[in-house]
Every structure is written in structure tokens, then in C-alpha cells.
Amino acid sequence: VDLTEGRYLLSGASDASAAIFDIQRATEYEGGGVIAKHKCIFSVDKQHEGGHRYSISSAIWYPIDTGLFITGSYDHHINVWDTNTTQVVVNFKMPGKVYRTAMSSLATSHMLIAAGTEDVQVRLCDIASGAFAHTLSGHRDGVMTVEWSTSSEWVLVTGGCDGAIRFWDIRRAGCFLVLDQSLSQLGRRPPILERSATTKVSTTKSLLTSPSSLTKARASQKKLANGSGMKQSSICKFPAKGPMRQRLHPGMLSSQDRATAHYGAVTGLKVTEDGMYLLSAG
């Protein structure tokens, strides 16, 4: 349902069609006026110029008004449609099936569509230029879901088939937070993994309470090749080749950062309106 009027429902279907309904004005009634039926105002399908060829996996309104809507499909394309003319005004060719698209309702500085596809990279598509703004690298498998923050136009949350949930500031390279279910206050890992998880948590606690130097803590953290999910700061230093040390964002170290938020693929994300909580499904 559109955010401006709360009146028009946009839907996408597995037959590659997209339709718009006016949920405030019924086209007919049944059952003595109790049941209201709504026929679509218009629809676009495979036969339509610029229409998708395969299932539509994502359909969203342009957040500012109902003049545009966006569809993503398994045919590897994202279409930006003019609602009044029902024509495609911008098209983005993606590297694989499109799983999810999202736009920020707060954005005043950009017109970016965040796209999650079967590729490992999250792509930001700029409606204004008709090109890709940049890509976000960190997931180790396809990206099933993307969601913008409700408190900042620059913060994006993504969930992947690798079970990871990552937080990004799109102005910077690399993610700034990866959620780790093994450090959660709720739930437990399966018995087969319990000993491994306990070891990781114990190691993390010892790093936090040990009076040893920061250098020793860094060395211990590096040994956790599969990642404990602990972040000591937003910027971490790791030894580089030679005597010099290179300063890297932790989100760029995907090979060392293997924390997961779900045991399987993350299929849905939703940030609450106050921006305080994130709901995830998998």
C-alpha cells in the first residue's frame, strides 16, 4: 500500500504481472453489501511493452508519491514504471534473479533502490542517473532481503542465504555490524554446536576482562577464523604484509567475519517505525 495516501495496493504475481487496486473504492459488493470486491485499476503483464518475462518477486511504490512504482523479477531485471503512462522509464539489468527491492522513505539526498539478488553483492540502483551507484560486498551467498533504516536514510540492513544479517552505512565501504545469534540473550545453539559456541563466548569474555595488552587481544581475535561476532570498535586494525599495519573496516574482512543470525537463509527483515528493533525471519 502506498505511503502517501494509504489507498493504492500494488501487487506482483508469479505469472509476471503487476496490478494496482484502489482499496478505498470497491467495484462491487456481495453478500448483501457485506463483502466488497476490488478489481484492479490496471495491470501490466508479459504482453505489455517492457513487461517482465518471469515471476515478479518484489513490487514497491516510490515512497514520495504514487507517480512511480518499482518491480523486480526472476528475469534479472528491475523496472521503474510511470504509473500514469504504464511505461518503463528506467530499467536495471541485474546479475541474477531479483529477490527484493527497497527504497528509503526518509531519503532526501538520494533516489536509490537497494536490490538483493542471487549474487553475493548488494546493488544500489540510482533512479536519477539510471545507473548503479555502487555495490556492497560482504555476504557469502545470495541476498534474499534488504530493508532501509527508519531512523537514517544512509543505513541499510541486508539478510542473505548465508544466514547473515549485515548493517551498512552506504556512504562507507564495508558493513559496520554483523548480528551473531551465538551471543544472543535468547535461544541456544543445537547440542552438536553447543560446545563450539561456548568456547567462542568464553574466549570473547576472556578478551574483554583480561588485563593484557591490546596487541595480545588482537592476536587472539585473529585466531577465531570462523568469527565470534565480537566487535571491539567500529574501526579495527589488523597486521598487514611487512612492518606496516593497514587500517581496515571490519565489514571488509568477510573471510574472518562468519557470524550468522539464522541457521538458514534470512528471508525477511523489518525495522520498527521507531528504529529501535529489527525483526527477522528465516
pLDDT tier for residue 212 given thresholds of 50, 70 and 90: very low
8 A C-beta contact, residue 70 and residue 28? no
Exposure class string for 130-164: b at 16+ Cβ within 10 A, else e? eebbeebebbeebbbbbbbbbeebbbbbbbbbbbb
* 3-state DSSP assignment of residue 126: strand
Topology given in CATH for the domain delimited by 8-181+262-281: Methylamine Dehydrogenase; Chain H (2.130.10)
Record the pTM.
0.72
DSSP 214: H
71-94: pLDDT as tens digits: 999 999 999 999 999 999 999 999
**What does residue 215 show for φ and ψ, rounded to 5 degrees?**
-65, -40
242-277: pLDDT as tens digits: 433 333 444 444 444 678 878 889 999 999 998 899
- The boundaries of every CATH 2.130.10.10 domain in the chain are 8-181+262-281
Average pLDDT estimate for 127-155: 94
